[in-house]
Amino acid sequence: MHKTDAWLKPILDLVSTQGGRGGALLAFPEYRPDLAKAIAHEVGIRFYDFRAETMAPKGFQAGAMGLDELDAVLADLAAQGGALVLNVEALLSTKSSEERRAWMQGFLRRDWPGLLLVPLALYGHEAPVGNERVLYLEPGDLPAQGLINRLAN
């Protein structure tokens, strides 16, 4: 980690306390796939775009997916050594607040065999309060997003 990457320290600290397994939620103040990719690279886990790789192939049927299908994908990724799983909120957006909150609690309680990091930009405020596996990132803590990157995302 370079001096310019100080924003990664709380994430790496969280990962080190996880022991290479289990789930964690990263509550971002805005949608930052660029930082999600950087985290996956720095931690040494796979970057997986749930919306692109799981939901998009289902077309219009994707909105009917159940949270059990998300859990099945996560179980597979965890068994393969873990992943940072971006765009889980694409499916969470089709569920009620109660369903999202229940899913987050279950995700954090489950003993995943590999490390799973799930960034949230829309529903971080619904994550369980006081849980050591939830990290809230502040806007001032993150590097600025360049114009080209902003346009691409």
Distance CA 30, CA 78 (A): 26
Q: What is the pTM of this model?
A: 0.91
Residue range 20-152 forms a domain whose CATH class is alpha beta
Phi, psi of 107 (to 5 degrees): -60, -45
pLDDT value at position 148? 46
Question: Which of 16, 20, 25, 6 lies closest to 130, judged by CA?
Answer: 25
Q: pLDDT tens digits for 16-69? A: 998 889 999 999 999 999 999 999 999 999 999 999 999 999 999 998 999 999
Helix and strand tally (H, E) in the chain? 7, 5
Domain boundaries, the chain: 20-152
pLDDT value at position 5? 85
pLDDT value at position 116? 98
pLDDT value at position 121? 97
Lowest mean pLDDT among 1-10, 89-98, 128-137: 1-10
Indicate the pairing of strand 46-49 with strand 82-86: parallel
pLDDT value at position 146? 59
Q: Is the pLDDT of residue 9 over 70?
A: yes
pLDDT value at position 117? 98
